[in-house]
Structure 1
Amino acid sequence: MRADAVRNRGLLLEVALDAFTHGKDVTLGAIAKKAGVGIGTLYRHFPTREALIEAVYRTELEKLCDAAPELLKTHEPEAALRAWMDRFIAYLATKRDLKDALQAVIALGVNPFEHSRAKMTEALQLLLAPLGATAEPMDVMAMLVAVGQNGDPDQAKRMLDLIVDGIKYGAVTRNAAARTAPPAPEPR
């Protein structure tokens, strides 16, 4: 793609994200106008409303997953994991805000989430490896989803800190070992 086409596509995705998370009945014409491009440009990049919605979701997913290696380059491993967790919580909020729009995509038989789990698992594995963590990425993701459902940002921050501490200090390993250890003998 030419540089102007890349720029236009990025602007359309940015405006569409804002539009789809704040209003249900936004028109594609309004999105194109706010992005400063013609409707033809929008349709060249995204032939349908659903294609635009899917691209918005996938772009947010890519931003989240692509952040993992970048955070590891600029932060210590523990801080990189914690920063990524904050981004994961923001991603969940965006996904929740896109719920109605995504349901329209799903209704057409498209699964925008098809590769989401694999990409997020890969990002988490990358972040956990330098910590020597034995936590299962899917277990960590389940905890993050639970935290993301919490409406209190201060409590969410504390809970994320607890998750990082558990990973850092091996709580997952200790708990797994306790589940597989034989029961203690009964006292006589």
Structure 2
Amino acid sequence: MEGLRKDAARNRARIVDAARESVARGEPLTLNAVARAADVGVGTVYRHFGCVEELEEVLVWDRFDELAEIMQAPGSARLEAVVAAHFALLAEDELFERVTSRAAPALDRTAAMRTSLVDTLALLVAEARSAGRVRAGVDADAVLVLVCGLAHGVRSAGLAPGSASAQTLLQVVLDGLRGGEPEAAPRGPAPRPAT
């Protein structure tokens, strides 16, 4: 990080690495446990991160960057690609979901990243709507609610994001965003062929 002395930058990197390893093992993230794992004093951790939420946010900045890059990719179906990628990132990374659903980020950089992503998503939704690929009344906030809800539901059900069941659910969301009339179900018994 800019402005840190070399030893302070090394300590910060050790703290972040230890926290990342702790999350990968599925352990609860606490600043005291991270200090022990990083072999630094707890005061050193608190000098870099005032609370566990700050550390959590730093751990998922690369996810925000990944999603921002996907949003810039060209193509006529950009919104669909972004929804699918965002779903996969959230379903694979519970910490990313927790940070993105937080009412108020702990760090200014996280808030700026989130605002930038929502603004870009709003442009993609408007672009898709003008091309007739998104139903009226759907905005960026609605897309985020759908994607976050789907990712949470898939993880809660123990489904892998790439599984056939999870992909079917994702397709239902994408089809719902497009709108239009669903195919009418046949009414009454099917006609019998003449004999």
TM-score using structure 1 length: 0.57
Offset at 1:10? 4.4
Q: Percent identity?
A: 21
SS at match of 1:58: helix
Range that drifts further, 78-87 or 30-39: 30-39
Q: Does 1:143 align with 2:138?
A: no
RMSD, aligned CA: 3.8
Which residue does the alignment assign to 1:89?
91
For 1:64 and 1:126, locate their aligned partners in 2 and report how far apart those are by CA, in whole Å: 20
Q: Does 1:122 align with 2:119?
A: yes
Offset at 1:73? 3.4
- Structure 1 or 2: larger helix share? 1
Amino acid corresponding to residue 90 of structure 2 in structure 1: F
Distance 1:32 1:146, change over 3 A: same
Which residue does the alignment assign to 2:166?
156
Offset at 1:89? 2.5
Offset at 1:54? 1.0
For 2:125 and 2:13, locate their aligned partners in 1 and report how far apart those are by CA, in whole Å: 31
Higher relative contact order (CA 8 A, sep 6+): 1
Q: Does 1:41 align with 2:31?
A: no
Return the index of the structure with the highest Cα Rg: 2
The residue correspondences of 1:1-188 to structure 2 (distance < 5 A) are: 1-2=3-4, 4=6, 5-6=8-9, 8-19=11-22, 22-24=26-28, 28=32, 30-35=33-38, 37-47=40-50, 51=51, 53-59=52-58, 62-74=61-73, 76=75, 77=78, 78-91=80-93, 93-94=94-95, 113-115=103-105, 119=115, 121-122=118-119, 124-132=121-129, 133=134, 135-147=138-150, 148-150=152-154, 151=157, 152-153=159-160, 154=163, 155-167=165-177, 170-171=178-179, 174=180
Distance 1:17 1:62, change over 3 A: same
SS at match of 1:163: helix
Amino acid corresponding to residue 43 of structure 1 in structure 2: Y
Distance 1:2 1:27, change over 3 A: closer
Amino acid corresponding to residue 67 of structure 2 in structure 1: A
Offset at 1:31? 1.8
Residue ranges of structure 1 left out of the alignment (5+ in a row): 100-111, 176-188
Per-residue displacement from partner, 1:35-91 (whole Å, max 9, x unpaired)?
A: 3545443232124xxx1x111333356444443331133464232332122113234
For 1:6 and 1:165, locate their aligned partners in 2 and report how far apart those are by CA, in whole Å: 47
